[in-house]
Structure 1
Amino acid sequence: MNGWVRNIVSIFAVIGIILTIIGGIIFGIERHKENNFVENICLVANAKLILQPCGKSMCYAPVWTIKYNDSIIIMSSNQVIVRITGSNSSKYAKGMNELKQHPVSQQESYPMWKVFCSGRPLYRGRLDSIVTPGEPAGHVHKVMGGSHFSAGVKGQSYLDLYEITKAAECTTCSIHTIDNSNYWHPELYYQWPNGTFSLVPDGGLTVYYIARTGNVGGAQYLNPNWQPFPKGLRMIAGDPWRRTYDKSNVTHNAISFVCLTESGMPKAPQTNGFQTDKHFCKNGFRMQVFFPMCWDGKNLDSSNHRSHMAYPTQYNTGDCPDTHPVRLPGIFFEAFYSVDKFPHGTGRQPFVLANGDPTGYGFHGDFVNGWDFDIMKNMLSDKSCLASSTNQGNNPERCLTLKPFVKSSVDSNCELTKSIPLTENIGMVEPIQRLPGCNPITYSNPVICSEGSNPKSMDNTGTFHIQSKLTGRYITFNPITQIVYANASIINPSYRETWGLGWATKDLGRTVRNTELNRHFTMQDKLKVRGPEASNWEIFSFEQHSTNDYIAIKNLRHDKYLQVEPDFTISGKATVITDACLFRLVTPNGGHVPEGLKISDLINLQDLSSNLG
């Protein structure tokens, strides 16, 4: 009998200890909110799943309750939201009110990584291989990514384009080899009070890949079944013709903007249209677009380049519709621009997109898939690729599948495989009278315009090619070494061989600025390019030669003339003007759009590489 009693006492003692530990854990957890989610972790025991709405939408994670004595713990994905006590009639009401005010992040439950693209674009100009293959695009784009971007080929199959894109030798973004995708969006312009336009030259692109789940508790939450991008997929997010905003339209909410104000100044809110009339963006202006993540499972593209894709119930999360049941990773662009040198924030909205949009509602992004299918498939099932592991995507190297392909730094060494001989004036150097293409400024009901689509129709008198009398060739430069050469062909020149006159700060004089990159001449031991700021070493003057249409170029640093050397480099200490010191300024004719890369070109490039190797 005494042994039996001792056993009973021991059992109750153990139960008491267990309850004490559990009670200590639960009651010791403090309520803590940060960035709209709670990070305290709790032991989940005998939990019961309940589905409750968070305001206008479902919570981002399943909500659980744990009852212990007269207390109820309301949790989500092992995160404590609130602990309440009191009468049963008030407990759930109080807890659900907390949920509505503080929706819970699902950061533990979805893969996420970022791709960082260089501030120097792969290409800038009027090309769009999705909408206008083989022809000039309607407006100027900034293109990032793999070096096989080209004008495109009419009638080219989607799979051919995928193979060409994926086989690029390099990319201007931070993931090499497995992601040679191309990303582009319209350029940003500044409209001066006199109506002229200057291209805003600086800024990079961050591409988020966010594989979010469906609505909480539903089938697409419990089994998102993420799929890698199908080979050949391409799409557009946003509409360049839109000039209105409807908060109930999910596609409208996918476009947003952030003005990064100066430290210590009031922060500007995120808005769905331009806000630069009210705020001065000292630290940059960010334009954002979220791509649809639901695929119809059949079509790699569609006539409007959108309808084969769809947004979930919210633009960045939620269930996919039955018509588009395949859930892909979501793509989110953050396009950065340095706008602090352009006056704004004083009531006038001076910025305009290249498509003639001063509202921002017509911002859009383009994507051509160049991902390795199998690698992305592995990433979507690799727990080290979850947002909690990758620091919300900021450290993609923590994703073990991705780690071997993450660059140590985002370089600017990647060049287009096939040069593009478009030379119309896009406003990089001096202000232009109208936007390239036919893009009148429209606040409502934009009209499709047929005039001005030809690059030769643009007024290109503000730019020029510089032709050496000695070599007969145009001046160009190596973007890696920054050395200037007088050896570029005069046939089919590109923006790299196109220049203009800029102004140095404090009116020191004129600079010679390139129209491909925001760089200008600098007189080092050899003539080079640098940018964007200028000093005495970057000031040059043009002197007309007395007997013909050639000029001599004098640099302020040495107060002497530029001279082409036998190795095609250019020195700056000539005191006597010879043919090596003479140059002719040639007005560009606007150039043309060549046929894009084809599979046969890819084979030829591979053969050439093998022979060189």
Structure 2
Amino acid sequence: MLLKPSFAAILASLASVQVVNAWFRLACATPLVQERVDPIIAPGQISQHLHSIHGGSNFSKDMTYNTARQSSCTSCAIAQDLSNYWTPTLYFKDPTTGQFEKVPNGGLLVYYQNRGSADASNGGKGLKAFPPGFRMISGDPRKRSKKYAEGQGSQGELAERAIKSTCLRYGTGVSGYDYYGFPTTDCEAGLNTRLHMPACWDGVNLDSPDHKSHTAYLSMVDNGDCPSTHPIPLMKLFYEITWDISAFSSRWKGKPWPFVWSNSDPTGFGWHGDFFNGWDTTVLQNAIDKCNSTPDQMAGKSEACPYFTILPSSTFSACRAKTTEIVEPINGPMARLPGCNPLQYGPGDATLYSTSSCPI
């Protein structure tokens, strides 16, 4: 089954109170590499859990903006973007054997959106390209439950609202549905997971000790205003991945939900995403400012922006990481998840174990 990201999700996101403005789609193929490396959370170290990584070939635990810009290829479709994008990997836990197997997906789709009251089309001062060295995350790998009342509006609640998924069941005679955390039924047309990144920056720090406080979410997550503490408006990123969970349906029919994220999460609330900027910043700023007028540009067609070089799928699909920094079994069947990740069901926050503190 070849899965493609669902445009229904983005169309719902684009239906907003404010004017729908320019945006473009960035298609990323099968992962550049899948390994326990995270240069934002664990620079210079082996990461706690497995990630599926897309983007520039120089991805590494010690990467910088300069090394990203020296990548020889990218696994995404725009040549001037040598950024890296990564999320946890989904696994199936066989209810009979207890073994873990990696779940296939249709690749990552990243939407770059001109959103918010600061966008020039809304009468604002205009959005800014990500500065060199900038990185950010959305979500929390420790989360195992929903914590905030819907619509409260705090940054914590906005962060929670930023991560939501859809059980795709088109053509089966059974309606699909949106949810926080994991669903409970098979998703015959795929499990569509998606997240919004923060789109407001403090204008000073390229990162922060918690990797979050230098950024903030728009007041409506996918649109709205930046808080006064984070006055620099950025283009908003929206990630989407569709996973082929139905390939395992015959092996868990009538049994509890058997899928888990690689960060020891059987609830779904701990899904998260990372972004490490590797753009040619002049190109991105030109795209923000000038690729916002023709019908094709307004329809999100990246090939309609003359500042981009669009790579053939055969080219970006062939890109692989320059190095693999930890070699270990990741496909399965395996008795345990890569790293030290015993399943933690919550509802309290999970403990992120290191190999030195592993309880199993």
**Shared topology, TM-score over 0.5?**
yes
For residues 18-50 of structure 1, the C-alpha deviation after alignment (integer angstroms, 9 at most, x for no partner) is xxxxxxxxxxxxxxxxx89xxxxxxxxxxxxxx
- 2:115 is aligned to 212
Unaligned regions of 5+ residues in structure 2, if any? 1-10
Shift of 1:224: 4.3
Structure 1 319/440 Cα, relative in aligned 2: closer, same or farther at 3 Å?
Answer: same
Structure 1 324/388 Cα, relative in aligned 2: closer, same or farther at 3 Å?
Answer: farther
Aligned residue among 36, 39, 43 for 1:133: 43
Aligned residue among 429, 432, 440 for 2:342: 440
For residues 562-589 of structure 1, the C-alpha deviation after alignment (integer angstroms, 9 at most, x for no partner) is xxxxxxxxxxxxxxxxxxxxxxxxxxxx
- 1:370 is aligned to 278
Amino acid across the alignment from 1:209: Y
Aligned residue among 311, 317, 322 for 1:412: 317
Shift of 1:207: 0.4
For residues 66-114 of structure 1, the C-alpha deviation after alignment (integer angstroms, 9 at most, x for no partner) is xxxxxxxxxxxxxxxxxxxxxxxxxxxxxxxxxxxxxxxx22xx22001
| Paired residue secondary structure (1:144) | strand
Superposition pairs for residues 13-32 of structure 1, below 5 Å? none
Shift of 1:260: 1.8
| Paired residue secondary structure (1:342) | helix
- Between the aligned partners of 2:254 and 2:341, the Cα distance in structure 1 is 25
Higher Rg of the two aligned structures? 1
- Between the aligned partners of 2:109 and 2:202, the Cα distance in structure 1 is 27
Shift of 1:174: 0.5
Unaligned regions of 5+ residues in structure 1, if any? 1-34, 37-53, 62-105, 154-160, 459-613
Structure 1 220/117 Cα, relative in aligned 2: closer, same or farther at 3 Å?
Answer: closer
Shift of 1:196: 2.2
Structure 1 388/269 Cα, relative in aligned 2: closer, same or farther at 3 Å?
Answer: farther
- 1:231 is aligned to 132
Indicate if the aligned counterparts of 2:165 and 2:193 stay in contact, CA closer than 8 A.
yes
- 2:141 is aligned to 240
For residues 327-356 of structure 1, the C-alpha deviation after alignment (integer angstroms, 9 at most, x for no partner) is 000001102222221125746111100011
Structure 1 residue 170 and structure 2 residue 73: aligned? yes
Indicate if the aligned counterparts of 2:84 and 2:276 stay in contact, CA closer than 8 A.
yes
| Paired residue secondary structure (1:179) | coil
| Paired residue secondary structure (1:425) | coil
What's the RMSD between the two structures over aligned residues? 2.6
Indicate if the aligned counterparts of 2:216 and 2:230 stay in contact, CA closer than 8 A.
yes
Indicate if the aligned counterparts of 2:94 and 2:100 stay in contact, CA closer than 8 A.
yes
TM-score (norm 1): 0.52
| Paired residue secondary structure (1:288) | strand
- 2:223 is aligned to 317
Structure 1 452/189 Cα, relative in aligned 2: closer, same or farther at 3 Å?
Answer: farther
Shift of 1:282: 2.1
Superposition pairs for residues 104-119 of structure 1, below 5 Å? 106-107=19-20, 110-118=21-29
Structure 1 residue 301 and structure 2 residue 212: aligned? no
Aligned residue among 294, 299, 309 for 1:392: 299
- 2:187 is aligned to 281
Shift of 1:115: 0.5
Shift of 1:386: 5.3
- Between the aligned partners of 1:210 and 1:375, the Cα distance in structure 2 is 15
- 2:58 is aligned to 148
- Between the aligned partners of 2:244 and 2:293, the Cα distance in structure 1 is 32
Structure 1 292/138 Cα, relative in aligned 2: closer, same or farther at 3 Å?
Answer: same
| Paired residue secondary structure (1:389) | helix
Amino acid across the alignment from 1:237: S
Indicate if the aligned counterparts of 2:48 and 2:353 stay in contact, CA closer than 8 A.
no
- 1:513 is aligned to none
Structure 1 284/251 Cα, relative in aligned 2: closer, same or farther at 3 Å?
Answer: same
Indicate if the aligned counterparts of 1:136 and 1:453 stay in contact, CA closer than 8 A.
no
Q: May I ask how many residue pairs the two structures share in their alignment?
A: 336
Aligned residue among 327, 331, 337 for 2:233: 327
- Between the aligned partners of 2:356 and 2:165, the Cα distance in structure 1 is 30
TM-score (norm 2): 0.86
Deviating runs (4+, > 6 A) in structure 1? Answer: none
- 2:3 is aligned to none
For residues 308-335 of structure 1, the C-alpha deviation after alignment (integer angstroms, 9 at most, x for no partner) is 0000111111100000000000001102
Structure 1 421/380 Cα, relative in aligned 2: closer, same or farther at 3 Å?
Answer: closer
Amino acid across the alignment from 2:191: F
Indicate if the aligned counterparts of 1:240 and 1:364 stay in contact, CA closer than 8 A.
yes
Structure 1 111/137 Cα, relative in aligned 2: closer, same or farther at 3 Å?
Answer: same
Amino acid across the alignment from 1:196: Q
Amino acid across the alignment from 1:208: Y
Shift of 1:415: 2.4
Structure 1 391/340 Cα, relative in aligned 2: closer, same or farther at 3 Å?
Answer: farther
- 2:6 is aligned to none
- Between the aligned partners of 1:360 and 1:391, the Cα distance in structure 2 is 33
| Paired residue secondary structure (2:92) | strand
- Between the aligned partners of 2:196 and 2:294, the Cα distance in structure 1 is 17
- Between the aligned partners of 2:43 and 2:253, the Cα distance in structure 1 is 38
- 2:261 is aligned to 353
Structure 1 residue 424 and structure 2 residue 328: aligned? yes
Point out which structure has higher relative CO (alpha carbons under 8 A, 6+ apart).
Answer: 2
Shift of 1:250: 0.9
- 2:17 is aligned to 60
Amino acid across the alignment from 1:186: P
Q: Percent identity?
A: 36
